Structure 1
C-alpha cells in the first residue's frame, strides 16, 4: 500500500506498513497532529489506525482491565462498568479539551504524544497501568512509567504500535480521584494536575496509596515518599494534612507563559492536599450511607 494517507482495517497490515515505512506518522484521532500543522499544508505520510478492528473498547478479563488504543475520551468518560478506582481517569477524560475533542481524541494519542501536561497520564500512573506494544515479532508490555522516557519521548520502537493499556483490576473498595488547575475550565493546558488511588482495609486504614503529579516536570511522576507516608493512615483523618514540601521534592517544574516554577510547585502541593482530603471525606460519606 502506498499513498500519503493510509487507513488500514487490520493490525497486521498496519504493522507491515509501519515496518516498511518507520517514519510514517501514526495518527489516532489527530487532535494533536493537525492543529499543530495548520499552515503550510502538512506533508507527513499518515498511518491512521482508527479503522483497525479490536483497538477500540474497554474489557475486563482474567483480572485485567484492557482499554484499547483508539478508545476515545468520551468512551472512558461514559464507561459505567469501570470500578471506583477509575474515577480519576474518568474525571481526567472530562477535562481533555471540549466535547468535540473528547469524542475524537484517543487514549493512545494522548500517551504517544507524551506531553508533560497530558491529562490522561497521572491517573493511569496511579492505576499502575502498563502499555501493550505490538510489532511484527509479537507483543511486549511496559509499565507506563517506563514507556514515558522524557519530554515528548517514549520507548516505542520503530515498527511498533501501542495497541492497548492494561490495568490490574482494582478492588471494589479502592477509590480514585483527579484534580486539574488551568487558566479556565475547558480547552486549556494544565498548569498542574494530580491523581490518586487509595486502597483501604476493613478497619479504614490505608494499605496502599498511589499519588501522581503532571505538568510539573518533563514527565508525570509518582510521589513515592508520600505514598509510603500514607500507608497505615486512618481514613477518618484529614489525609491532606500529611502532605509536606519534602514529599514533592521529586518534581521539577519550569517557568513558562502559563505559570512560574514556584507557582506550579505550590499549586501541586495544594492540589495533592485537596484531593487527599476529598478522597478521605468520600470514604467517610460512603460508610455513613
Structure 2
C-alpha cells in the first residue's frame, strides 16, 4: 500500500489514471468502513491539492472545492440561500468530524441519509468531475444514482460543487429528525429554499432525505405551494402524496413513521425558511 499526497490536480489525476487508489479527504466515512481489515489498496489523499479547499464566488455563482470541510461551510460568508446548507453542516457529527469531513465526501459516500444532499438539491447544485481527459459537470440529482452508487468512472475525481447564482432575497431552512439531538444519523430530513414576495411563496424548492434510496425534490408539492402563504401550506401538506418516496424500515424508524413525520418536517422547514 502506498500513501499518495499530491499537491496539484494534474498529479492526482495522473495517479488515478495509472492505478485505482482509494480517494480520501477527511476519511470520516472511509476509515470506519474498513473495520479491522488491512488496507491493501493505495490511498490518494486530496487534501493537499492546491485550490481544492476553497469556497469562492464566480461569475456564474459559487464554487465549493472538493476538499472543503463542513467547518469551512459554516464559517464561509455565503448568501441566506445557503443557511439550510450551513444548518446541515452543523448537524454532521461532532465538531471534530466537521473539521475533518468534507461536503464532497458526503456526496460520494452516497448514503440515503447524507445530510448535505437535500440542501444542495434545493440550490440546484452541479458536480464538477475531472480526469486526464478534461472536466465534465453533472447535476447532483443525476450524480447520486442509488445507495453507494455515483456517476464516477475509474480515473475520475470530483473537483468541486458548483452552485448557480442566487438572489440576496432567497431564503432557506433545514430540519433533521433523529433519535436524539446531536451525533445521530437522520431518520428523515427536509431542506427548503424559497422567495417570499408580498407574503406568499415563490419558487419554493423542497428536498427530502432518508426517505428513499436517493434524496429527492418534491416537484409537485413545490408547484402546489407557488403563490401560497407559508401558513397555507399546512392543509396542502395534509393531502399531499409522497408516492415517489420509498422509506425503509430500519433500527432508526419504520417506513410508515418516516412518512408520518414528513409533513411536520416540511412545515417546519418552510416556516424556518420563510421567517427564520
Of 51, 65, 68, which aligns to 1:68?
A: 65
Of 52, 55, 61, which aligns to 2:52?
A: 55
Matching of residue 166 in structure 1 with residue 153 in structure 2: no
Which deviates the most, 273-282 or 29-38? 273-282
Structure-2-length-normalised TM-score: 0.96
Of 186, 189, 199, which aligns to 2:185?
A: 189
Shift of 1:35: 1.3
Structure 1 contact 111–121 (Cα < 8 Å) conserved: yes
Shift of 1:4: 2.1
Unaligned runs of 5+ in 1: 283-289
Which deviates the most, 242-251 or 31-40? 242-251
Structure 2 contact 171–274 (Cα < 8 Å) conserved: no
Name the structure 2 match of 1:228.
223
Name the structure 2 match of 1:20.
18
Matching of residue 273 in structure 1 with residue 267 in structure 2: yes
Of 95, 99, 105, which aligns to 1:103?
A: 99
Name the structure 2 match of 1:286.
none
**Distance (Å, rounded) in 2 between the aligned partners of 1:259 and 1:68:** 34
Structure 2 contact 25–47 (Cα < 8 Å) conserved: yes
Structure 2 contact 145–214 (Cα < 8 Å) conserved: yes
* Mapping for residues 27-42 of structure 1, pairs under 5 Å: 27-42=24-39
List per-residue Cα deviations over 1:83-138 (Å, max 9, x = no partner). Answer: 01100000000001000000000011101011100000000001110010011111
Shift of 1:163: 0.5
**Distance (Å, rounded) in 1 between the aligned partners of 2:166 and 2:236:** 24
For these two proteins, the number of residue pairs brought into alignment is 276
List per-residue Cα deviations over 1:16-49 (Å, max 9, x = no partner). Answer: 110111x311111100011122313322321111
**Distance (Å, rounded) in 1 between the aligned partners of 2:234 and 2:2:** 52
Name the structure 2 match of 1:285.
none
**Distance (Å, rounded) in 2 between the aligned partners of 1:76 and 1:185:** 21
Structure-1-length-normalised TM-score: 0.92
Unaligned runs of 5+ in 2: none
SS at the partner of 1:108?
Answer: helix
Structure 2 contact 125–161 (Cα < 8 Å) conserved: yes
